Structure 1
């Protein structure tokens, strides 16, 4: 029978298990920081995440269906959160003239204020990373991107706007290239969330 990653004997024998547990510890830190930010604004963590997402992404992505895929939740769950944000006048909605069941979300002035402040909730996690060397940061980024890419391929993570899943991305002999920017990309320049991302056709 396969051992659990959280079995201490398993952890001590497999570096993969220790990496998973380390990632789980970091995810706990994210949850705590996000929860503290949401309590301060009398919102739920997902409502804070929705505000931050709308603040930094184009209108085409600010729809209930897209948000549901982005956060791996049902449309009903996202719709409930959006209703609260509408009632608190943090977002407004504009109905699609072609499909009246669909609408786009935008931040109100108050919503922008809350989203801007909340977007710094993870800064205390970024600070220790600044102490790493450039080489350490590049290795860590590449490892995480590879993990995210494979989780996306296996269907555990849904939407990804990273270079590896983009139709503009090309790699040959270890050289990364962006056909949109017409330039080579250093390993440290590979993007996790690119505004120009176009889904790679399978």
Structure 2
């Protein structure tokens, strides 16, 4: 494929990712509206209720959501007023408060998660190996954007110090040094709780 054809194909891929992103935001915004929430409030509630997230400070949530700390504080305060979050002092290890979901917050988050259903149905039409290739392509893009500072937080396999392209010994394939186990293409993680940034150990 020539340079012009490659650029054209890349452009179409970027356009497709943009359209999916636009559709995803619209679907989440609609789900948030049904819960009486803003888009940012819904994103924060979903993040707080993600098991891999753990206790986080305002700054941590801001970096993950790619918004300012005051924006997170405003969204969290609104969620507290609505009875969906509660403040817990000093759980992040820094002495600063974080938030945990209430029972009502977890129930609201479960309903919010349905925004993904149309995308899940669309992906079901693709073969598992095709989805695995798409996952790898997108994670490579995420890792590149993270290295150049375009994405602040990327807790993916490809940005982790434990990730190896080749298994120790004579076998090839992706390998997780923490788990001491091979990684199948579909096993690559987007938000790993054990993630340790590779740059911190170079």
TM-score with structure 1 setting the length: 0.87
Q: Tell me what 1:176 maps to.
A: 174
In 1, are the aligned partners of 2:157 and 2:195 still within 8 Å (CA)?
A: yes
Q: Tell me, yes or no, if the aligned pair for 1:59 and 1:106 is still in contact at 8 Å.
A: no
Given candidates 61, 86, 89, the residue that maps to 1:67 is: 61
Aligned length: 192
The answer to whether the Cα contact below 8 Å between 1:55 and 1:112 also exists between their aligned partners in 2 is yes
CA distance in 2, matches of 1:168, 1:99: 26
Of residues 158, 164, 172, the one that matches 2:158 is 164
- Paired with 2:161 and 2:6, the residues of 1 have a C-alpha distance of 40
User: Among residues 18, 21, 25, which one is paired with 2:19 in the alignment?
Assistant: 25
| Aligned with 1:55 (options 35, 49, 55) | 49
The alignment partner of 2:120 has SS state of helix
Q: 1:103 aligns with which of 83, 97, 100?
A: 97
Contact 1:61 1:67 in 2 (8 A): no
Question: Using the alignment, how far apart are the partners of 1:151 and 1:61 within structure 2?
Answer: 25
1:34 Cα deviation from its structure 2 partner: 0.8
Structure 2: runs of 5+ lacking an equivalent: none
CA distance in 1, matches of 2:120, 2:54: 29
Structure 1 residue 172, shift from structure 2 partner = 2.1
Q: Could you say which residue in structure 2 is the equivalent of 1:114?
A: 108
In the alignment, is the contact (CA less than 8 A) between 2:135 and 2:186 conserved in 1? yes
Alignment partner of 1:189 out of 157, 163, 187: 187
Q: CA RMSD in A?
A: 2.2
2:99 and 2:5 mapped to 1: Cα distance? 44
Q: Is contact 2:48-2:99 (8 Å) kept?
A: yes
My pick for the range that moved more, 167-176 or 84-93, is 167-176
Q: Which runs of 5+ in 1 are unaligned?
A: 1-9
